[in-house]
A and B are shown apart, each in its own frame.
Chain A
Amino acid sequence: MRSIDDEKKIAIQTENVCRHYPMGETLIRAVDGISLQVQAGEFVALLGTSGSGKSSLLNLIAGLDRPTSGSVMVQGHNLAALSRDDLSKYRLRKVGMVFQSFNLIPSMTLLENVELPMRFAEVDRVKRNGLAEEALRRVGLSARLRHRPTELSGGEQQRASLARALINQPQLLLADEPTGNLDSRTGGEIMNFIREFNETMGMTVVMVTHERALAERYAERMVFLADGKLVDDQRNVAVAAGARREERS
C-alpha cells in the first residue's frame, strides 16, 4: 500500500484503461487494459510499433479522448468523470502538447500561435504578448516573432510549438513523436529543450516515439506497448538523474 507522500507524487495513473471502437463489424482495441503509474517529474517514453496504441493512450491522458472502460487519473482527477467543459479547462491549464506535425496554425504568426492558449485562458492582451515573446526568446526564436510557420524550418516550427505548449505553465508535457519530422541533429535540439524543461521546471513528460535509441538517450523510463497492451516497463539506468547531469557537465 502506498503512503500519502507516494500518492502526492503520482502524476498519472491509469487503471485497466481501455479504448475500443468499432470499425465495420470488427472491434478495434486501440488501448486494451493498460494500468500505468507515472510519478510527478518523471520523463517516460511510450514505445511501440505503429498501431500499438501509444498515441491512443497519450490522447486519453491528454483528455482529448475518453476511455471505453477503466480510469485515467491525472493529479487526482478522474478524466472520464469530467464534463466537456472541465476537460477543456484541464487541457488548457494542466497539459502542454507537442505533435509530430507541429500543428501550428498557418494563418497566424509565431507570436500569435504562442499567444493562442492564453486567449482561451483570457489573459490580458499586453501580458500575453510579453509572455509569448519571452517563451519564443527562450527557444531561440526572438528574431522570428512575426513570421508565419510556413516561412520557418521544421526545427524552428517545433521549437515554436514547444513554446506554445509551455505558455500556460502546465505540469504535464505530452509529446507525440516530437522528432518524427526532423533530422537527427534538429531532433536532438528539440529533445534537449524537452529534457531541460523536465529538469528545470519539474514537468512530467510523456513522450510517444518509435525510436528506441531516442528513448534510451533521454527518457528515465521506457514503457513498451503492443496491440494496445503494456508489454514491458523498464527503468533506463543509463539516464538516471545523476547520470544525465554528468552527461551535461
Chain B
Amino acid sequence: MKFYDSAELALRNLRESVLRNSLTTVGISVGVASLVAMLSLGIGLQQMAGRRLQKSGLFDTVVVTSRRDFRGFNRDQERNGPSAAESPALDEAARLKMERLTNVAEAYPDIRLITELRYEGKQHLTMVAGLPFSAKSNDAFDGMAGSFFSSDMASEVVLQKSFAEELLDRTPKTGEDDVKVSELGSALVGKELTMRYAQRTAPENAGSDQTGAAYSVISRELRLKIAGICDLDPDSMRGQARARVFLPLKLAESLHMMQSSNMRDTSEAVSGVPTYSNVSVRVSSPKYVQQVEDAIRKMGFNTFSIIDATRSMRQFFAVLDLFLGIFGSLALAVASIGIVNTLVMAILERRREIGIMKALGASDSDVKGLFFAEAGAMGILGGFLGVALGWIIGHVINFGTNIYLKRQQFPPENIWSVPWWLVGGAIAFAIVVSLLSGLYPASRAARLDPVQALRYE
C-alpha cells in the first residue's frame, strides 16, 4: 500500500475513536511539553549565566603588567620569564602590539589615580579610573540611575553608589537600610563636581644630556558633570585598587594625569616614553583568553585572567540539561505506554477489520504500516501540540519570574529559551518514541491469523 493511502486510512481510524486517540495524543503532548519546558529552562539559565559572565567583563579580560614593576600576580611567571631588567616596558607601542593580536577586541591602558574631588564646596578623596566606552554593556550598569557617558571624550563621570552616598553624606551606618540608587540619582545626576589632578607636560627646552623621562607637573582642575550612578561595582576585578569614580578613558588619556608609574619611569630612566602600570586586554570571546594570554606572555609581560570559569560552567550546564532532559522524557515514556495501550485496544476492536483486509489481499507490511501510521500521526500531532504547550508554559513561568524579580527590585531576566533545534528535536523525538511504541502493536496486528480474525465478533 502506498504511504499516502496508509496515512489516509490511519487518520480515518484515528477519527473513528476520537476521544481515546485524543487523550493519547494529549498524553504525548504533555510529555513533549515537559521535555521542552525542562530543556528550555536549562538552556535559558545557561544563556543567562553566559550573558552575565560576558557582561561582567571578568572572563574575557586579561590584565597585563610589566615585570619591571614587580607587581606580577604569578610567581611562576616571574621565575620562568625574562628578568625584570630585560623585560620590555608596558608602553603605548606594547599596547598597540597587543591590540593587533588575533581575537583581541581592544587593549586599553589602566589610568587610575587617587585624587581630590570637590562637590558643593566639600572635598572628597577617592580612586578615579578611566573606563573605555565598550564597558557600557557591562552588567554593573544595569539598573543604573542616569546614564553612561554620552561619548568617549565627554566631561562626564559615573559614580559608584558608595561614593554618591558619601557625596550626599548618606552612607548607611551598620544595620541601616541601603539607600536606593534611584534616590541618589535624582539628587546627583546632572550636577557638577570638580576634579583636581596633576598634569604631566613635556618640558619646552629638554637638554641633550637628559637620558630618561623628563617633564613638568602642573596642578589643574576640571569640571565634570555627573552622568549616572551605578549600583554594582564595575571595577570589582581590581580589589583594593578599585575606583569609585569613572571618567571616559579617552578623556582621561587626553588629560595626561600624573600617575604613580610616571614617578617610577623617572627613577628607572628607561626612556622618554611614559609607561602604563597595567593594560587591560579584552578578548573577543572567553574561549580565546588562554590563547591571547600565551601570546602576551611570549612578549615578556605578566598576565592575569580568570580562565576555565566558562568551561566549567558549560560542563555544569551540560550535566544539568542532561538531567532535566531525562526528567522531561519520563513523561514522554509514560505517554508512550499510552500509545501502546491505545493501539493494542484498537487491534482488539478492529480484529475483524484486520481479518477482512487480509482476506482482501493486504500483506503483513500493509497492516503493520497502517498501525505505524496511526502511531506516527499521534506522535506528530502530540509533538506539535507539546511544543506549543511547552512554549506557553515557558512564557507563563518567565512572566511570573519577572513579576517576582520586579517585586524584589531586580532587573527583568529571560530565564527561558526555546531554540529552533529544540522545537525540531522535540517533535522528531515524539515521532520516534511514538513509532517505537507502535512497533509491538503493529507487528502483533500483522501476525494476526486471518481465519481467527474473521471469526471474531
B10-25 CB contacts (< 8 Å) to partner A: 12-13, 16
Any A CB within 8 A of the CB of B454 = yes
Any A CB within 8 A of the CB of B102 = no
Using CB atoms, name the residue of chain A closest to B367: A88
B 356-374 to A, binary, CB cutoff 8 A, 1 in contact else 0: 1111111111100000000
Any A CB within 8 A of the CB of B450 = yes
Q: What is the CA–CA distance of A207 and B160 in the complex, to the nearest angstrom?
A: 101
Q: Are B16 and A107 in contact (CB under 8 A)?
A: yes
Q: Are B361 and A92 in contact (CB under 8 A)?
A: yes
Q: Are B361 and A89 in contact (CB under 8 A)?
A: yes
Q: Are A93 and B359 in contact (CB under 8 A)?
A: no
B2 cross-chain contacts in A, Cβ below 8 A: 119, 122
In-complex Cβ contact of B361 among A65, A88, A105 (8 A): A88
Q: What is the CA–CA distance of A171 and B356 in the complex, to the nearest angstrom?
A: 19
Any A CB within 8 A of the CB of B322 = no
Using CB atoms, name the residue of chain B closest to A170: B361
CB distance from B331 to the nearest CB of A (A): 32
Interface of B is mostly: helix
Using CB atoms, name the residue of chain B closest to A105: B353
Any A CB within 8 A of the CB of B269 = no
Most chain A CB within a 10 A radius of its CB, from B5, B9, B364: B5
Q: Are B356 and A120 in contact (CB under 8 A)?
A: no
Any B CB within 8 A of the CB of A141 = no
Any A CB within 8 A of the CB of B1 = yes
Q: By the criterion of a CB under 8 Å from any partner CB, how many residues of chain B are at the interface? A: 23
Q: Are B358 and A64 in contact (CB under 8 A)?
A: yes
A118-144 CB contacts (< 8 Å) to partner B: 119-122
Any B CB within 8 A of the CB of A186 = no
Q: Are B361 and A59 in contact (CB under 8 A)?
A: no
A83-101 CB contacts (< 8 Å) to partner B: 84-85, 88-89, 91-93, 95, 97, 99
Question: With A107-B12, A107-B13, A122-B1 in contact, do A117 and B451 touch (Cβ < 8 Å)?
Answer: no
In-complex Cβ contact of A64 among B359, B363, B364, B365 (8 A): B359
Any B CB within 8 A of the CB of A57 = no
Q: Are B359 and A103 in contact (CB under 8 A)?
A: yes
Question: With A107-B16, A120-B1, A122-B1 in contact, do A91 and B454 touch (Cβ < 8 Å)?
Answer: no
B 323-363 to A, binary, CB cutoff 8 A, 1 in contact else 0: 00000000000000000000000000000110011111111
Question: With A64-B450, A99-B454, A103-B454 in contact, do A117 and B361 touch (Cβ < 8 Å)?
Answer: yes
Question: With A64-B451, A92-B361, A97-B359 in contact, do A119 and B5 touch (Cβ < 8 Å)?
Answer: yes
Q: What is the CA–CA distance of A85 and B366 in the complex, to the nearest angstrom?
A: 10
B 442-457 to A, binary, CB cutoff 8 A, 1 in contact else 0: 0000000011001000
A168 cross-chain contacts in B, Cβ below 8 A: 361
Any B CB within 8 A of the CB of A229 = no
A120 cross-chain contacts in B, Cβ below 8 A: 1, 357, 360-363, 366
Any B CB within 8 A of the CB of A10 = no
Q: Are B13 and A88 in contact (CB under 8 A)?
A: no
Q: What is the CA–CA distance of A121 and B1 in the complex, to the nearest angstrom?
A: 7
Interface residues of B (CB under 8 A from A): 1-2, 5, 9, 12-13, 16, 352-353, 356-366, 450-451, 454
What 5 A-B pairs come out closest when comparing CB atoms? A92-B361, A88-B363, A91-B361, A117-B360, A119-B5
| 23 interchain pairs, CB-CB under 8 A | A64-B359, A64-B450, A64-B451, A65-B451, A88-B361, A91-B358, A91-B361, A93-B361, A97-B359, A97-B360, A99-B359, A103-B454, A105-B356, A108-B12, A116-B360, A119-B5, A119-B9, A120-B1, A120-B357, A120-B361, A122-B1, A164-B360, A168-B361
